[in-house]
Structure 1
C-alpha cells in the first residue's frame, strides 16, 4: 500500500512539473518571448506571409525590399544573437488603415505561438487612397521552440520550422 502511495505521488509530481514546462509566456530569465519592434504601412511585401531574420545578411536583404519603408537603423541596432526578427506582412491592401500589432506570445509543446491583432479600416473611415503593404516586425526569443506559428483574426495562420 505504501509503495502504491509513493508511486501515485511521484506520478502526480512528474505530471505537475511537465505541465508547468509545456506552456510559457516568458523566457527563463523573465524576458518576454516576443515584442513588437516596429510596424509600417509600406513594407514592400505584396503577398501575405512572414520573413524570418536570424543574422545580419538576412537583415540586409530585408532593407532591399522594393517600396520598403522600414526603420532599418533601429533593426540593425538589435543583437541578433539574443533575438531573432519576424516580419509579418498582410500583403497588398487597396487603402491605408490596415496594420498589425502583437497581441500575445506563448510557447506550448515546442511551438512559439504569436497572436496578432489585425487592424482594418471601418467601412465609413476616411483613409488614404493608395496601395499599401502593411507589416509588423517582432523580435522573438530564438530558444526553446522548434516551430513558429503566427495567427490572428482576419489572417491566415502561418507556420514554419525554426
Structure 2
C-alpha cells in the first residue's frame, strides 16, 4: 500500500470518529440518567404523625428553615442547598411505636427514567427480638439532589417498595 492511500484511509477514519462518538454518547428515549444526591440531615423525631411514609419537596430556603425549625434537624451553613441547582426532599418514614427505626440513603445517585427520578433509601427497623424503648418516633431524612428535568421523584426502599412519590415543580 502506498503512502497516499494510507493517509486517505487515516483521514477518513478520523473524519468518521466524531460521528460515531456522537452516536455512542446519545441516549435513546427511555434510557436512564443519574443525578447526584447527598444527605443534609436525618433524625428520629421529625413530627410526622401519620403512620404511612411521606415525601415533601421543599421549594425554597424559607421552606427549608421552617422544616428545620419544626423538626429540630440541623444543616451546617457550608452544606446548605442551592435551590437554583438542587431539589430538596424531606422523606418521613412514618410514625413508629418504638426506637430503632431510621432512614438512610442507599445510593448517592437518583436514577432518572421517563421523567421520573428514583431515589433509593434503606428503611431500617429494629430486629424482631430487639429490646427497644417504647416511644413514638417519626424518623426522617433530608436530602439535596442535583436539579435535572424531572416531573416527579419516587422514594423506594431496599426491597423496591414505593414509599411515596412527589411531583416536582420547575
Could you tell me which of 157, 164, 168 is aligned with 1:158?
164
Is 1:111 aligned to 2:116, yes or no?
yes
Q: For residue 69 of structure 1, what is the aligned residue in structure 2?
A: 72
Alpha-carbon contact 2:41-2:75 (below 8 Å) kept? no
The answer for unaligned runs of 5 or more in structure 2 is 1-18
Is 1:19 aligned to 2:19, yes or no?
no
Q: TM-score, normalised by structure 2?
A: 0.71
Query: For residues 81 and 163 of structure 2, what CA distance do their matches in structure 1 show?
Result: 27
The answer for unaligned runs of 5 or more in structure 1 is 1-9, 27-31
Larger Cα-atom Rg? 2
Query: For residues 46 and 52 of structure 1, what CA distance do their matches in structure 2 show?
Result: 18
Secondary structure of 1:60 counterpart: helix
Query: For residues 76 and 95 of structure 1, what CA distance do their matches in structure 2 show?
Result: 31
Is 1:125 aligned to 2:93, yes or no?
no
Alpha-carbon contact 2:54-2:163 (below 8 Å) kept? no
Q: For residue 7 of structure 1, what is the aligned residue in structure 2?
A: none
Query: For residues 75 and 90 of structure 1, what CA distance do their matches in structure 2 show?
Result: 27
Query: For residues 160 and 97 of structure 2, what CA distance do their matches in structure 1 show?
Result: 16
Q: TM-score, normalised by structure 1?
A: 0.75
Displacement, 1:74? 5.2
Displacement, 1:78? 2.6
Q: Give the 3 Å change call, closer, same or farther, for CA 122–154 of structure 1 in structure 2.
A: farther
Q: Count matched residues.
A: 143
Q: Which runs of 4+ in 1 moved over 6 A?
A: 13-16
Q: CA RMSD in A?
A: 2.8
Alpha-carbon contact 2:40-2:80 (below 8 Å) kept? no
Alpha-carbon contact 1:99-1:118 (below 8 Å) kept? yes
Displacement, 1:23? 0.8
Q: Give the 3 Å change call, closer, same or farther, for CA 74–120 of structure 1 in structure 2.
A: farther
